[in-house]
Structure 1
Amino acid sequence: MCYSAQIQADYRKYVRTFGSDVSLERFVELFWEKRRDGGWSKLPKAMRAAFRSAASSEDLAIADLVEAGDNEQGAALETELFQQRTRLTVAERTLEAKPTKKAENDKRIATDKIARAQRNLADLQRTDLLDRDSRIFPGHYAPVMVVQDGRRVVIPMRYQCRLPGWTPAMERQKPGTYNARRDNLKKAWRQLYGYKHGIMIVNAFYENVARHRLEQRELAPGEQEENVVLEFRPEPRQDMLVACLWSVTKGGEGEADLYSFAAITDEPPAEVSAAGHDRCIVPIKPERLESWLNPDAKNLAALDAILDDRSRPYYEHRMAA
């Protein structure tokens, strides 16, 4: 399963390459919502940064939202640092006077939280963008291009699809819906396959792999399975148009609608399988884009053919940083 991906987070790439419009209203709703509910960190830094250079009055309003959200996030991290440094000082004084298990735990936890808060604060304040600023995980948001009312439009969506009719409680019982298995599209995903198609631009993806499978060997007697994270990149380097399914759930009173999506995955090519993983994202060919974004639910065979006739780059892998 594609548990993480490095995406094209700048909506302007979609505009320049595909002539798409942008749902600025949805970006505004999302940024306001994540400021309110504490989910600011689920918005990739690169996606927020795209609005820093405002080109219109609408962009300027979003740029102000981004700046305010970043400032609030920074203040929260500064507060966390102060609290944990205080906790660390108290723990160290206690250990000097009379060592206790609680003080040892407090020192360890405070030290870890200080380091994490410092890293997060440095990332927040950094102005140059790194690859990791475009990386998403389940529950994070990414630009997804779809067709609405006959026009291509970019909408920020959550990477974990809430299927039609699901409640938040039902969603929590099945947390793996950030991927839609190819062999299940006409079953679990039948309400979306043939109806709501999109693409996400991806230039790398990440997978959890068992070390012994990566090394193409059996576990040794008594050896515990160890997980490693691999980064897969197409060679030559390129942006891939990853096939997605999406849904929109009406928000409750005072809540914004939830746009969410899943990446379609299929059996892996030989090089991904040899690296120890059994799934792979499905990048569609550019010439198939129009047909994919305008599906005919009465002709699923044509959609199957698009997924069969996919782009097939060679995926190089390495241990993820």
Structure 2
Amino acid sequence: MCFSVQIDKNIKNLAKRFHSEVDVASFHQLKNMRNYASSLENEKLKSIMGLKRKPKTELFKTPEDDGRVYPGYFAPVITASEKGRTILPMRYRVRPNGSDEEIPSKYNVFNARVDSLEKRQTWSNLFMRNHGIFPFIKFFEWVEHKGRKELINFSPDEYEVMWAPCLWDFWRSSDEKIFFHSFALITDEPPKEIEERGHDRCPIFLKEEHIDSWLRPKERSRQEIYSLLRNIHDVHYSYEWAS
């Protein structure tokens, strides 16, 4: 599991770094969705969003001041477009297309295990169809340390930013007034230095030369796509205790 991440909030920097165009309209739409949702009474919002309980916080959160993104927050994701690559905001937690109710928070639909991409329906509906790249600086995990749970963060040596392949979906409410993209990043077994710190998963760090192939799965076979997910950057991860 990847508990949370820290991103570069400067969209222009990301666009330049990843040779992408920014979907400005999508970022404006996110702001409009945020304003619309905040204007609704709780019962109306619950009905539209398919929530069983009153939301504890606002539903269209954006990254914290320090760039931290938690499940349920919106963050920039790179997808394929006719012109090349596009950056648009997506929620870090998948909301399946056509779902009447929000998936309960006890279920992890923000990290997709690479060995479950075709075994779990949430992922199999998106694998080989809706692929993206999620860039971030570091990721945070809770691990056992000195007899208690402590928060640790990992970042790759020699890279200012890393990127993980992800799967995305698009959801629209029945009244068509609320709509958004959402995603889950893909994880695999961890390298030795992360395992030694007490964690059993790590986001896949796809090789940069394979980004466009990953983003256009319809042009590849399943075997080729799985090969990309195995052919990752050979990096060492440094860590810091965050709590």
Instruction: Give the TM-score of the pair, scaled to structure 2.
Output: 0.84
- Residues 313 and 299 of structure 1, relative CA distance in 2, 3 Å threshold: same
C-alpha contact 2:5 2:140 (8 A) present in aligned 1: yes
Name the structure with the higher strand share: 2
Of residues 202, 223, 226, the one that matches 1:280 is 202
Offset at 1:167? Answer: 3.0
1:42 partnered with 2:61: yes
How many correspondences in the alignment?
222
1:238 matched to 2:160? The reply is yes
Q: Deviations over 1:124-167 (max 9, x none)?
A: xxxxxxxxx21100001100010134531111000001234433
Q: Distance in 2 between matches of 1:11 and 1:242?
A: 17
Structure 2: distance between partners of 1:252 and 1:27: 22
How far residue 174 of structure 1 moved from its aligned partner, in angstroms, is 5.3
Cα deviation, 1:70-96, whole Å, max 9, x if unaligned, reads xxxxxxxxxxxxxxxxxxxxxxxxxxx
Segments of 5+ residues of structure 2 without an aligned counterpart are 39-57
Q: Would the aligned equivalents of 1:194 and 1:297 in 2 still touch at CA under 8 Å?
A: no
Q: How is 1:200-279 mapped onto 2 (pairs within 5 angstroms)?
A: 200-212=134-146, 226-253=148-175, 255-279=177-201
- 1:22 deviates by 1.6
User: Which deviations, in whole Å up to 9, do the C-alpha atoms of 1:161-203 show, x marking residues without a partner?
Assistant: 123443334x126531110011101121111111111111111
TM-superposed deviation, 1:32? 1.9
| Shift in CA distance, 150/16, structure 1 to aligned 2, threshold 3 Å | closer
TM-score normalised by length of structure 1: 0.64
User: How far did 1:29 drift?
Assistant: 1.3
For the aligned residues, what is the CA RMSD?
Answer: 2.0
Alpha-carbon distance in structure 2 between the residues aligned to 1:157 and 1:207 = 21
Kept in 2: contact 1:29–1:256 (CA 8 A):
no
Match of 1:195 in 2: 129
In 2, Cα distance between the equivalents of 1:184 and 1:40? 28
Greater share of helix residues, 1 or 2? 1
Q: Determine if contact 2:97/2:172 at 8 Å carries over to the other structure.
A: no
SS of 2:137 mapped into structure 1: strand
1:307 to partner: Cα distance: 0.8
CA pair 210-269 structure 1, distance change in 2 beyond 3 A: same
SS in 2 for 1:146: strand
C-alpha distance in 1, partners of 2:100/2:219?
25
Contact 1:264 1:282 in 2 (8 A): yes
Quick check: 2:33–2:60 contact (8 Å CA) kept in 1? Answer: no
Kept in 1, the 8 Å contact 2:80–2:212? The answer is no
Quote the offset at 1:280 in angstroms.
0.4
Residues 141 and 158 in structure 1, CA contact (< 8 A), matched pair in contact too: yes
Maintained 8 Å contact 1:7/1:200: no
User: Do the aligned partners of residues 14 and 37 (structure 1) sit closer, same or farther apart at CA in structure 2, a change above 3 Å counting?
Assistant: same
What is the CA-CA distance between 1:40 and the residue it aligns to? 7.7
Q: Deviations over 1:197-226 (max 9, x none)?
A: 1111111000011125xxxxxxxxxxxx62
Larger Rg: 1
**Gapped regions of structure 1 (runs ≥ 5):** 47-132, 213-224
Output the CA distance in 1 between the equivalents of 2:106 and 2:99: 10
Overall identity of the aligned pairs, in %:
32
